[in-house]
């Protein structure tokens, strides 16, 4: 059963969603917790441990046949199919399993670094993994980076101006590395398609980090026409760590540069074990596979992916916007200053409270039984499908008390 119209009713959520998270919800109840860090680590579904056990049992019971289409390879294809559906990819085969988004970024950089120093345009507010990787490549002299800082401010929140990104691309580059939704502020780039077109006109490729949009913001990668995208199931897809992916646009000219981060799964016939004197990689995105991948991640991510495809990202997004509206209203009622975007649809799934001592505020909230988190001066608060209106109201009251403790 999937929601038939625009909103997720309380009845639907209790029957079709809450029932799948009884262990997590009972844990929160026992510990008297209100969990509002869903943008960081999604809660585990009850089915997930059994799914992982199923994958392990394949190893025990089928040994050398575990890689068959009936077992591990079949489950990989299910993982690819569900991800492709959620992010709007052209085909399941365009989704390549990775242990992390950073692994995907390195694969893209390595494929395009051939006898020259790559010119990369990115922002100064990418996620820490991307920032760290780009700085490491820059220090090694492999890339030259143009870092675009936020130049707009709204209610104490530093925001990117997409025109600054366009100007930097116009000066010439090889790779553009951006986020769809930014991890600190939740800002959603609204001109990705335009920026991608500009980059392509100038011969550059585009990699988009969709970690903070996959599963909570409607996304169609084929329409955006980016060359690559990285993401994972750790957050809104509720698949836990290690369940990352790289999207490879099968129509991208970037495929002219064969990847360097490869292994036997990238071969045309990986299970034939007939070695050719000439490297024969698979056609299209399959050439971006690597060595033996952790087969259990497909089982680990299964229940979360099934939930999101059942409920649909569109319904999840509408519910999220409604919840955030309730949260902002509750915080205002308690006298808590909260960031109120002029257009909430231009931000992701979490709400911001700006405070110079946000980390301390996070700790105080935790002591009061509310789990949120902070990044720099921003306290991030993310209700989700499991969050009740009563929890939102109670969290607002506890945030007021926590703020008073800092005065």
Instruction: State how far the alpha carbon of 100 is from the alpha carbons of 127, 191, 320, in Å.
Output: 12, 26, 26
Q: Give domain status of residue 148, yes or no.
A: yes
pLDDT for 167-186, tens place per residue? 999 999 999 999 999 999 99
pLDDT for 299-355, tens place per residue? 999 999 999 999 999 999 999 999 999 999 999 999 999 999 999 999 999 999 999
Whether the predicted pLDDT of 1 surpasses 70: no
CA 111 – CA 109 distance, rounded (Å): 6
Check residue 327 and give its pLDDT. 98
User: Of 276 and 209, which is predicted with more confidence?
Assistant: 209
Question: Are residues 220 and 274 both part of a single domain?
Answer: yes
Task: Return the H-helix or E-strand segment holding 167.
Answer: helix 162-170
Cα Rg of the chain (Å, integer): 22
Torsion of CA 83, 88, 90, 96, to 10 degrees: -30
Whether the predicted pLDDT of 76 surpasses 70: yes
pLDDT for 77-102, tens place per residue? 999 999 999 999 999 999 999 999 99
C-beta contacts of 342-345 below 8 A and 24+ residues apart: 342/154, 345/188, 345/321
How many percent of the chain have pLDDT more than 70?
Answer: 98
Q: Give domain status of residue 3, yes or no.
A: no
What pTM was computed for the model? Answer: 0.96
Question: Which range marks the domain in which residue 72 is found?
Answer: 51-308
SS3 track for 103-119:
HHHHHHHHHHCCCCCEE
Instruction: State how far the alpha carbon of 139 is from the alpha carbons of 30, 245, 261, 279, 362, in Å.
Output: 49, 26, 20, 31, 34
CA 171 – CA 391 distance, rounded (Å): 49
What average pLDDT does the chain have? 96
Number of domains composing the chain:
2
CATH number (domain holding residue 216) = 3.40.640.10
How many percent of the chain have pLDDT more than 90?
Answer: 94
Residues 6 or more apart in contact with residue 323 via CB below 8 angstroms: 383, 384, 387, 392
Question: Are residues 111 and 192 both part of a single domain?
Answer: yes
Question: Are residues 399 and 361 both part of a single domain?
Answer: yes
Check residue 396 and give its pLDDT. 98
Predicted confidence band at 4 (pLDDT cuts at 50, 70, 90)?
very low
336 and 372 in contact (C-beta within 8 Å)? no
Predicted confidence band at 3 (pLDDT cuts at 50, 70, 90)?
low
Q: What is the mean predicted confidence (pLDDT) over 377-398?
A: 97
Question: Are residues 94 and 204 both part of a single domain?
Answer: yes
Question: Are residues 179 and 146 both part of a single domain?
Answer: yes
Q: Of 137, 208, 198, which is closest to residue 171 (Cα–Cα)?
A: 198
Q: Give domain status of residue 80, yes or no.
A: yes
Whether the predicted pLDDT of 2 surpasses 70: no
297 and 72 in contact (C-beta within 8 Å)? no
């Amino acid at each position: 059963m999937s929601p038939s119209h625009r909103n997720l009713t309380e009845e639907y959520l209790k029957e079709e969603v809450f029932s799948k998270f009884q262990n997590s919800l009972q844990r929160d109840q026992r510990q008297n917790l209100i969990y509002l860090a869903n943008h960081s680590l999604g809660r585990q579904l009850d089915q997930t441990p059994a799914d992982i056990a199923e994958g392990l049992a394949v190893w025990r019971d089928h040994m050398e046949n575990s890689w068959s289409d009936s077992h591990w390879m079949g489950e990989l294809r299910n993982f690819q199919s569900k991800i492709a559906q959620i992010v709007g990819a052209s085909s399941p085969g365009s989704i390549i399993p990775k242990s992390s988004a950073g692994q995907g970024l390195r694969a893209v950089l390595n494929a395009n670094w051939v006898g020259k120093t790559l010119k990369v345009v990115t922002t100064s507010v990418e996620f820490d993994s991307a920032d760290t990787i780009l700085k490491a490549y820059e220090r090694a002299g492999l890339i030259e980076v143009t870092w675009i800082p936020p130049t707009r401010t709204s209610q104490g929140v530093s925001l990117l101006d997409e025109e600054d990104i366009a100007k930097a691309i116009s000066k010439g580059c090889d790779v553009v590395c951006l986020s769809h939704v930014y991890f600190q502020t939740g800002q959603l780039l609204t001109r990705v398609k335009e920026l991608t077109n500009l980059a392509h006109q100038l011969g550059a490729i585009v990699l988009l980090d969709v970690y903070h949009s996959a599963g909570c913001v409607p996304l169609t990668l084929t329409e955006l026409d980016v060359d690559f995208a990285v993401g994972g199931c750790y957050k809104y897809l509720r698949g836990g760590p290690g369940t990352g992916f790289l999207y490879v646009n099968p129509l991208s000219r970037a495929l002219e540069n064969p990847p360097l981060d490869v292994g036997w799964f990238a071969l045309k016939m990986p299970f034939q074990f007939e070695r050719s004197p000439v490297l024969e990689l698979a056609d299209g995105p399959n050439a971006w596979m690597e060595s033996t991948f952790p087969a259990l991640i497909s089982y680990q991510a299964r229940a979360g992916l099934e939930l999101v495809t059942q409920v649909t990202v569109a319904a999840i997004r509408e519910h999220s916007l409604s919840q955030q509206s309730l949260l902002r209203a509750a915080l205002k009622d308690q006298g808590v200053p909260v960031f109120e975007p002029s257009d909430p649809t231009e931000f992701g799934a979490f709400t911001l409270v700006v405070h110079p001592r946000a980390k301390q505020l996070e700790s105080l909230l935790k002591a009061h039984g509310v789990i949120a988190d902070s990044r720099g001066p921003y306290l991030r608060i993310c209700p989700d499908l499991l969050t009740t209106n009563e929890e939102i109201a109670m969290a607002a009251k506890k945030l007021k008390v926590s703020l008073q403790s800092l005065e």
